[in-house]
Amino acid sequence: MDKVSEIDFSKDYIIQETLQQHKSISKISPNCVNSLRVITYRKGNKTVIPSCHFVMGVGNDFLANGNFGSIRIAYNIDTNTLGKVGYKGFKFGGTSYSAHPDTHFKFEGKGLIFTKEIKEIVTKAASLVFEGELIGWDIAFTDKGPCIMEGNHSPGLTFPQIYSKGLLKNTSYFEIFNEFFKLE
C-alpha cells in the first residue's frame, strides 16, 4: 500500500517509517532488518543485561524472527563479541552454524556496532517498565544508530538457555532466579 488514502481504517495498522539497516550489518545478512535481542532486568535503579543474542535472517526471508527460521547467536555486549555457534530453532531443525550460510560471515569473536548506545537505550527503556520484569528488547541497527523495534514482556529464554549451556550457569540469571526461588 503506497498511499495513506487507500488504507481501510476499519482495520488496525501500525504506520511507521521504514528502517534502513546499517551497511555493516547488511554484510552479515542483507535481506532483512536483523536485530539484537537484549534482555534486561531492573531492580530498583539498577538495570542488568543478563543476556543478548543477535538474530539474523536467512535466504530471502524478509524478517529476522524465530517464526521464520532465523539464526540466533550469543552476543556478549560487555566485550562486544559474538559467540562461536549460531542456532536455528528446533522447529526449523535446530541446525548450528559457525558462519552465516548466505554470506559466509564467520561469527566467532566478531563485534557489532553501537554497543554503548544500545546499553544506554535499553537501560533508559527498562527504567520505564515495572521493576522485577525480564524484558526482551529487539534493537535494529540503522544508518542513524540503534532503534528499539519492540519490547517483549515474555522474552523467551530458550536461546539464552542453549548458548549459556543452562541458565543457572549465567551469573545474572542465577541471581535473578535465586531472588524468587532461593536456589542457594
- Supply the CATH number for residue 113's domain: 3.30.470.20
- The predicted pLDDT at position 91 comes to 92
98 within some domain: yes
12 within some domain: no
Quick check: 49 and 77 in contact, CB under 8 A?
yes
| 39: β partners | 51, 136
Host domain of residue 35: 19-181
Cα within 13 Å of Cα(154), Cβ side? 0
14 within some domain: no
8 within some domain: no
6 within some domain: no
Residues contacting 92, CB < 8 A, separation 6+: 69
Note if the pTM is more than 0.85.
Answer: yes
Question: Which pLDDT band holds residue 11 (cuts at 50, 70, 90)?
Answer: confident
166 within some domain: yes
- The predicted pLDDT at position 39 comes to 98
148 within some domain: yes
pLDDT 10s digits, 103-162: 999 999 999 999 999 999 999 999 999 999 999 999 999 999 999 999 999 899 999 999
Query: How many other CB atoms are there within 10 angstroms of residue 132's CB atom?
Result: 12
- The predicted pLDDT at position 117 comes to 98
Tell me the C-alpha distance between 1 and 171, whole Å.
48
- The predicted pLDDT at position 1 comes to 43
- The predicted pLDDT at position 30 comes to 95
SS3 of 77, please? Answer: coil
> Cα(first)–Cα(last) distance of the chain, in Å?
56
**Which segments within the chain are labelled E, that is strand?**
35-43, 46-56, 71-76, 81-87, 96-97, 134-142, 145-152
pLDDT 10s digits, 42-84: 999 999 999 999 999 999 887 888 778 899 999 999 999 999 9
- The predicted pLDDT at position 184 comes to 66
CA quadruple 53, 63, 89, 135: dihedral sign: positive
129 within some domain: yes
Q: Report the pLDDT averaged over residues 10-37.
A: 90
Work out how many domains the chain is built from and give that number.
1
